[in-house]
Chains A and B, each alone.
Chain A
Amino acid sequence: MMTLAQLNLEIARPEIGLLILIFVLMLFDLFSKKAQRGNMLQLGAIVGLVLTIVSVFRTAEDAIASAPQYAFSNMFVVDQMSMVLKIALLVSVAVLLIYSRDYLEKRKLFTGEFILLLLFATLGMMVMVSANHFVTLYLGLEILALSTYAMVALNRDSAVSTEAAMKYFILGALASGLLLYGMSMVYGATGALDVSAVAKSIEFSRANDPLISFGLVFVVAGLAFKLGVVPFHMWVPDVYHGAPTPMTLFIGSASKIAAFGFLVRILGDALAGATGEWQTMLVILAVASLAVGNIIAIAQTNIKRMLAYSTISHMGFLLLGILAGTKDGYAASMFYIISYSLMSLGAFGIIMLLSREGFEADNIDDLKGLNTRSPWIALLMLTMMFSMAGIPPFIGFFAKLAVLEAVLQVGYTWLVVYAVVMSVIGAYYYLRIVKLMYMDEPIDTNPIIASQTMRATLAVNAFAVLVVGLLPGTGLMGLCLSAVQRSL
């Protein structure tokens, strides 16, 4: 019989706290007056997220000082990696809440449901990055996925949104199925579901078991679906395009951070013994994603679709770091994904800012002449675009540098050259956005209205894109490395 103390509940304080917050907000949403509801819910959620960040920090102190700490008989782990990833995703959810307020209010979508689903999804992501057991991983993933399906469908009167939600749900469910199937095979081969037990079993006896390889294929396919890499990318453009922009942003930032955590726990930790096998699979996925993402993005006229393809290519880059199979590689990918979500927050934030009541600024022509309309916002968008293209001194460059370095270390020189050539192709469509903003005359001459909070947050966001890579000392890159080294 297990006692409460053995469960080691206290290291799950942030998650439990967040869950309580969700329930409180749910009740508040039911019984409050309509007039103040939006403000209070937003405030409550942001304060709650900030408190959760503090709590994540406090909880991880012991884990950072000594060794990773486990709860629920090894199903849940708190280590430095989970801490960094949780803080990153909590911050991006909080920023998203600030960005999306005006946009959603004008579309009458800023309701309790949105905030609650968002927080539930956040909870799911936190469970994902802290999971140390296949069942916990899956549990976190499903909390996230089910909340996201509902969020995408939130704008129920819009046919595009509903279509996107439907596609997302069906393909997502299929991916979950594949993943579970793969996990079950790994379980069959190793007799374990615990990440460290699986790792041990594979390392000592079953590295060449065909059942493992077979399971691996399904696991990788399932993960590829979730990340949206080629050839499992079909849902990405439609969902990015169809979902209300805040939901797109959520899928493109926070949930990618969680997916990274998931990927590393499964491939880098549990299945580390089979690195040779999944490495080849990831090479194929990465090569295809870089090509498809960068080339098809050129043909897009809708900026959300363009950014969807851009995401595909960025996920290809992310896989490059992971396929290196080294701690440097995981750290590089971790840095990459955090940088990427910073950039995508900024870019989608600006798209939301340019949209008005009954008008979606999602055509790339809507950006025309932005420099004439507002030099400041154009400069912010320029920062995001050049950063995504990997031009220094922005953070995107350092992220690419880190990944390429890790890949070259393991001897994949051709892959580095290939990635470099693809980046040049990619630079073209980011440049096109800059060109539209700076070198064309505006079509849309409506004044740009944005709250001070949003402007300030965007400025901080762009500033972060500029300086986080440039920070002297250990910086975020060093933090990612030490997190990976101490956690795997």
Chain B
Amino acid sequence: MQTSSYLLSLTIWVPIIVGILVLFCHRDAQKNTARMLALLGSVLGLIVAIPLWIGFDNTSAAMQFVERLTWIQRYNIHYALGVDGISMLFVLLNSFTTILVIIAAWRVIDEKVSQYLAAFLIMSGLINGVFVATDAILFYLFFEAMLIPMFLIIGIWGGPRRVYAAVKFFLYTLLGSLLMLAALIYLYNVTNGSFDIADYHRVPLGMTAQILIFLAFFASFAVKVPMWPVHTWLPDAHVEAPTGGSVILAAITLKIGAYGFLRFNMPIAPDAAHALSGMMIALSLIAIVYIGFVALAQSDMKKLVAYSSISHMGFVTLGFFLFNSQGIEGGLVQMISHGFISAAMFLCIGVLYDRVHSREISAYGGVVNTMPKFAFFAVFFAMANSGLPATSGFVGEFMVILGAMKVNFWYAFAAATTLILGAAYTLWMVKRVIFGEIANENVRALTDVNSRELVMLASLALLVLFMGVYPKPFTDVMHVSVDALLQHIALGKLN
């Protein structure tokens, strides 16, 4: 697998470099050039990511497509990249979603077009960097740098309370990540000067140190996931972000938090992870059940989907801290599936918002009469969001519930309530927005989806269906890596 070892660098730097080029097309006359260039960049980004899937060796848990260069000698920092079964799919997911976001912005964003597109492309590269970095400082660099474009996206192109949301988002995440930085520096000292994540996995640590490290990483990743009770930035950020921002937030950045648990918390502090699993499971279940009820009470569509995201991410963290392979794989499948479904949900809301400029559920009703094609997709994705079998939403939830059943019946019971709650809040929203009589003149004037929107929604629908019917290609990729991780965690670091 060492043959094409420049691939990962390409997935990071192609979008970033194209993004910087787009930034130069800032004149009004160059808007279309900027759009074409950005689309080209995002497609190129996906093209360079596809060989990862083709060339990936499913039978190995080791890092693949490895790149390693000495970078900052003074602190023994390396430019080290690699993917395993846990991270590979997210690179693809991110590269794919970036294309959707660029298309979604095509006509909608008309101010500071080049900056908007450039921000998304640069962020796409940085997010790929987060998933493939195997050096802790490199990881941290991408992890933090990502905040800058996201802050600007929410703050410049967002809704009325955008500045509040952007600042809240930034400061919440910054506090978490700086605590993580402190933990990384501590580990650097313990390992006698290494920032290699693999070294952190191996280094023996006492229980107190493990607990503190676990909590420091937890502070960082729990905010990103987000877990209850540090989730409050997410509804604000989602509601105020432009459609593209919401899509990237829900589909990708939330996954980074969960990915962090698998890459840092559990292998570096396995005994602490066991000791604190009760807390993690409790927080996850609260997110699933309580936030599910909160979603039920929303009158704003974006807020509803945002709360639904928190609830679904609760499934992911629940799966992880069950410490069995169904749980973790189920969590991973749920992450990918939620990446598709939440992206689709936010795109659907975007389609309506672009036409009516309202996100209130009460501003709609009877959309099916004027937008039949759109209604088809909206209902389909709503079904997927509530976990209908044969859609990808079902697979992950089912696996996690199975995993939970092995550990404790009541965990499984509580988690399973989401099948009811999820269906309740999603379908109720669909009923109020899509079905019924035409509610007002705005709805009467609606035009159905154009081909640009159709392409986005159809491609996501196909993926959701494919993953729901035949999830094997996805689980095959992660299987060996997850088993290796579980073995490592089971060994522990004490004694």
CB-CB < 8 A to B71: which residues of A?
A: 472
Task: Spot the interface stretch: A22-30, A35-43, A264-272, A401-409.
Answer: A401-409
Task: Spot the interface stretch: B31-39, B149-157, B313-321, B443-451.
Answer: B149-157
Select the residue from A408, A424, A474 with max chain B CB neighbours within 10 A.
A424
B73 adjacent to A473 (CB under 8 Å): yes
Given A474-B73, A475-B72, CB of A438 within 8 Å of CB of B145: no
Cβ proximity bits B68-83 to A, threshold 8 Å, 1 near / 0 not: 0111111100010000
B72 adjacent to A477 (CB under 8 Å): yes
B174 adjacent to A408 (CB under 8 Å): no
**Is A173 an interface residue when CB atoms closer than 8 A count as contact?**
no
A421 to B176, CA, bound (A): 10
A408 adjacent to B73 (CB under 8 Å): no
**Is B405 an interface residue when CB atoms closer than 8 A count as contact?**
no
Cβ proximity bits A160-198 to B, threshold 8 Å, 1 near / 0 not: 000000000000000000000000000000000000000
Within 8 A of A (CB), among B32-60: none
A481 adjacent to B74 (CB under 8 Å): yes
Q: Give A168 Cβ to nearest chain B Cβ, in Å.
A: 34
Task: Spot the interface stretch: A81-89, A282-290, A412-420.
Answer: A412-420
Residue of A nearest to B180 (CB): A420
**Is A392 an interface residue when CB atoms closer than 8 A count as contact?**
yes
A444 to B42, CA, bound (A): 37
**Is B182 an interface residue when CB atoms closer than 8 A count as contact?**
yes
Give which listed residue, B140, B151, B189, contacts A408 with CB less than 8 A: B189
**Is B494 an interface residue when CB atoms closer than 8 A count as contact?**
no
Task: Spot the interface stretch: B161-169, B225-233, B282-290, B293-301.
Answer: B161-169
Give which listed residue, A409, A432, A439, contacts B162 with CB less than 8 A: A439
**Is A122 an interface residue when CB atoms closer than 8 A count as contact?**
no
Given A393-B141, A434-B151, CB of A439 within 8 Å of CB of B182: no
B186 adjacent to A408 (CB under 8 Å): yes
B170 adjacent to A427 (CB under 8 Å): yes
CB-CB < 8 A to B147: which residues of A?
A: 391
Cβ proximity bits B174-202 to A, threshold 8 Å, 1 near / 0 not: 11001101100110110000000000000
Within 8 A of A (CB), among B363-386: none
B144 adjacent to A392 (CB under 8 Å): yes
Residue of A nearest to B69 (CB): A472
B171 adjacent to A424 (CB under 8 Å): yes
**Is B355 an interface residue when CB atoms closer than 8 A count as contact?**
no
**Is B137 an interface residue when CB atoms closer than 8 A count as contact?**
yes
Q: Give B107 Cβ to nearest chain A Cβ, in Å.
A: 22
A427 adjacent to B155 (CB under 8 Å): no
Given A416-B182, A427-B174, A477-B74, CB of A438 within 8 Å of CB of B69: no
**Is B276 an interface residue when CB atoms closer than 8 A count as contact?**
no
A386 adjacent to B74 (CB under 8 Å): no
Interface residues on A, range: 35 or more
CB-CB < 8 A to B112: which residues of A?
A: 371
A420 to B179, CA, bound (A): 7
A421 to B181, CA, bound (A): 12
Select the residue from A391, A402, A473, A477 with max chain B CB neighbours within 10 A.
A391
Q: Give B429 Cβ to nearest chain A Cβ, in Å.
A: 30
**Is B108 an interface residue when CB atoms closer than 8 A count as contact?**
no
Given A424-B171, A428-B167, CB of A393 within 8 Å of CB of B145: yes
CB-CB < 8 A to A478: which residues of B?
A: 72-74
Cβ proximity bits A431-444 to B, threshold 8 Å, 1 near / 0 not: 11011001100000
CB-CB < 8 A to A391: which residues of B?
A: 144-145, 147-148, 174
A416 to B180, CA, bound (A): 12
**Is B452 an interface residue when CB atoms closer than 8 A count as contact?**
no
Give which listed residue, A386, A417, A434, A472, contacts B72 with CB less than 8 A: A472
Given A375-B26, A401-B185, A474-B74, CB of A392 within 8 Å of CB of B170: no
**Is A344 an interface residue when CB atoms closer than 8 A count as contact?**
no
CB-CB < 8 A to A416: which residues of B?
A: 182, 185
Residue of B nearest to A427 (CB): B174
CB-CB < 8 A to B426: which residues of A?
A: none
A481 to B171, CA, bound (A): 33
A409 to B148, CA, bound (A): 30
Q: Give B272 Cβ to nearest chain A Cβ, in Å.
A: 17
A417 adjacent to B151 (CB under 8 Å): no
A325 to B86, CA, bound (A): 43
CB-CB < 8 A to A386: which residues of B?
A: 148
A401 to B178, CA, bound (A): 10
A404 adjacent to B167 (CB under 8 Å): no
A435 adjacent to B69 (CB under 8 Å): no
**Is A232 an interface residue when CB atoms closer than 8 A count as contact?**
no
Within 8 A of B (CB), among A378-413: 382, 386, 391-393, 397-398, 401-402, 404-405, 408-409, 413
A58 to B474, CA, bound (A): 62
Give which listed residue, A392, A420, A473, contacts B182 with CB less than 8 A: A420
Residue of B nearest to A481 (CB): B74
A221 to B240, CA, bound (A): 49
**Is B265 an interface residue when CB atoms closer than 8 A count as contact?**
no
Residue of A nearest to B126 (CB): A393
A436 to B178, CA, bound (A): 25
**Is A80 an interface residue when CB atoms closer than 8 A count as contact?**
no
Give which listed residue, B155, B175, B181, contacts A439 with CB less than 8 A: B155
CB-CB < 8 A to B69: which residues of A?
A: 472
**Is A423 an interface residue when CB atoms closer than 8 A count as contact?**
yes
B186 adjacent to A413 (CB under 8 Å): yes
CB-CB < 8 A to A408: which residues of B?
A: 182, 185-186, 189
A472 adjacent to B181 (CB under 8 Å): no
**Is B308 an interface residue when CB atoms closer than 8 A count as contact?**
no
Residue of A nearest to B172 (CB): A424
Within 8 A of A (CB), among B94-121: 112, 115
Within 8 A of B (CB), among A434-488: 434-435, 438-439, 471-475, 477-478, 481
CB-CB < 8 A to A424: which residues of B?
A: 171, 174-175, 178
B182 adjacent to A405 (CB under 8 Å): no
A203 to B281, CA, bound (A): 57
Q: Give B136 Cβ to nearest chain A Cβ, in Å.
A: 11
Residue of A nearest to B26 (CB): A375
A153 to B155, CA, bound (A): 41
Nearest 7 pairs of A and B residues by beta carbon: A477-B74, A420-B178, A392-B141, A478-B74, A424-B175, A439-B155, A392-B144
What are 6 residue pairs bridging A and B, where the CB atoms are less than 8 Å apart in the complex? A371-B112, A391-B174, A405-B75, A431-B170, A439-B163, A439-B166
> Which A residues are within 8 Å of any B CB, using their own CB?
371, 375, 382, 386, 391-393, 397-398, 401-402, 404-405, 408-409, 413, 416-417, 420-421, 423-424, 427-428, 431-432, 434-435, 438-439, 471-475, 477-478, 481
What would 14 more interface pairs be, CB under 8 Å, given A404-B182, A424-B178, A478-B74?
A375-B115, A391-B144, A391-B147, A391-B174, A398-B72, A408-B189, A409-B189, A416-B185, A421-B178, A431-B167, A434-B151, A439-B155, A475-B74, A478-B73
